[in-house]
Amino acid sequence: MRVRRIVFVDDDSRVLDAFRRMLRKMNGEWESRFFDSVDEAWKSIEADVPDAIVSDLNMPGKSGIDLLKLVRSEPDTQFLPFILLTGNNEVKKRMECLESGATDFLNKPCDFSELVVRLRNALTLKDFQDEVRGQNEILEQRVRERTIELESSRREVIFRLARAAELRDSTTGFHILRVGLLSRMLAEEMGFDAKLQENILLASTLHDIGKLGIADSILLKPARLTPEEFKAMQAHCQIGADVLKSDLHSTFSLLSGGANGSNGLLEYAAEIARTHHEKWDGSGYPAGLSGKEIPVSGRIVAVADVFDALCSKRPYKEAMEFSDALKAIQQGSGSHFDPAVADAMVRRHEDAVSIMNEHSDEQLAEKKFAA
């Protein structure tokens, strides 16, 4: 059996002497420490946390309640059994002690047998509570690990879905990755919180998912599109939104025995897919939205998407210099682009260039080959 360490606090030396005499019977079960002031007791408790505390309520200077509040304020001691000794039978005073976290009361002068029984009960209860807290910590850790695992799986599924769409167009390389990183950078620069930054990173990778519904003769054409073909290509915005916002609840309900719910991230991705080709002046597609009618997610991805496209080589064009691409973004501010997003790109252009260089199609191809 583990020896329990008990701290006794009383400003009356005669009371402490009486405790010492009585507690000799508990040698081998309890190890006792005695203090005549709250300050001395607290120093000892901080240095070597005991298993329980027994303290007089009324003492000159700091009282038993003061010590109780100190004990309950620290993580290492907040759950210790704390028994107060008092000759004060006022209900109001006892309520104050209970509200401060007292475990139990004993009247002074206390009966030794009663003290032993109450302390043993308090220690047994604490053992049980410690076990429950330990099990809760294990469960919380498992939940955290499972949450991380699920989040990792969700991210992987999203990236693989986005990559599946992009693989139909072998000329675009790792466009989705760069657009995601550029979009997160712009969201950060514009002051959006970490959650939105993470969401736009993930959701923006699906901005061109609607290309899965475009005919190969248009999508894979190694030259500029005719006006008719370009109009057909424009449909990828609405196709992507439809794919991502489709009501699959009834299907999920059948597969999960009735569980239902929406996926906020996919709805956010649908918003981006639908609006990333809208323009600030209303001349974009598919709905001709203008200004703040365009969701901010679509406005951010529009800048990231165009910047990457300008800086990337295609069968029908050469890659533009980063400085020229930045000038094009500035020139499009207020017409094609939200001025606030365009300004954010200008402020963070050095970071944007770093993203483009670090995650260029050539760099990533080399990494893949080396692996």
For every one of its 371 residues, what pLDDT tens digit does the chain have, with 9 covering 90 and above? 688 999 999 998 888 998 888 888 888 888 889 999 999 999 999 999 999 999 999 898 899 999 999 999 999 999 999 999 887 666 777 788 888 888 988 888 888 888 889 888 988 888 888 888 888 888 888 888 887 777 777 777 777 777 777 766 655 558 888 999 999 999 999 999 999 999 999 999 999 999 888 888 888 887 888 999 999 999 999 999 988 876 544 444 444 454 444 467 888 999 999 999 999 999 999 999 999 999 999 999 999 999 999 998 877 778 899 999 999 999 999 999 999 999 999 999 999 999 999 988 776 555 543 43
Is 127 found in the same domain as 186?
Answer: no
In a domain, 176, yes or no: yes
> pLDDT at position 25, please?
81
b vs e for 307-344, b when ≥16 Cβ sit within 10 Å of the residue's Cβ?
Answer: bbbbbbeeeeeebbebeebbebbbebbeebbbebbbbb
Q: Is residue 147 part of a domain?
A: no
- Identify the helix (H) or strand (E) that includes residue 271: helix 264-275
The single residue listed with the structure tokens 């001709």 is: 288
**Which pLDDT score is estimated for 145?**
82
Rounded distance, CA 54 to CA 122, Å? Answer: 11
The pLDDT value given to residue 323: 95
CA distances from 255 to 153, 248, 259, 272 (A): 19, 11, 8, 28
Q: How many residues does the chain have?
A: 371
CB 42 within 8 A of CB 62: no
Residue 151 CA, chain-centre distance (Å), reads 11
Q: Could you count the other beta carbons within 10 Å of the beta carbon of residue 196?
A: 19
Same domain membership, residue 295 and residue 235:
yes
- Which tokens belong to 303? 């800048």
The CATH number that applies at residue 123 is 3.40.50.2300
Number of domain units in the chain: 2
Residue 162 lies in a domain: no
Same domain, 124 and 200: no
Query: Is residue 91 located within the same domain as residue 173?
Result: no
Q: Of all helices (H) and strands (E), which one includes residue 179?
A: helix 175-189
Of 114, 137, 160, the residue that ends a domain is 137
Same domain, yes or no: 191 and 133: no
Beta bridge partners of 317: 314
Q: How far apart are the first and last CA of the chain?
A: 57
Does 194 lie in the same domain as 49?
Answer: no
191 and 338 assigned to the same domain: yes
Provide the b/e sequence for 101-126 (b: ≥16 CB within 10 Å).
Answer: bbbbbbeeebeeeebbebbeebbeeb
Distance, in Å, from the CA atom of 345 to the CA atom of 367, rounded to the nearest integer, reads 28
Residue span of the structural domain in which 94 resides: 4-137
Is 145 among the domain residues? no
**Strand 52-56 to strand 104-107: parallel, antiparallel, or no bridges (unpaired)?**
unpaired
Looking at the fold, whether 176 and 319 belong to one and the same domain comes out as yes
How confident is the model at residue 172, as a pLDDT? 54
Let me know: does 85 contact 108? Beta carbons within 8 Å.
yes
Answer whether residue 160 is part of any domain: no
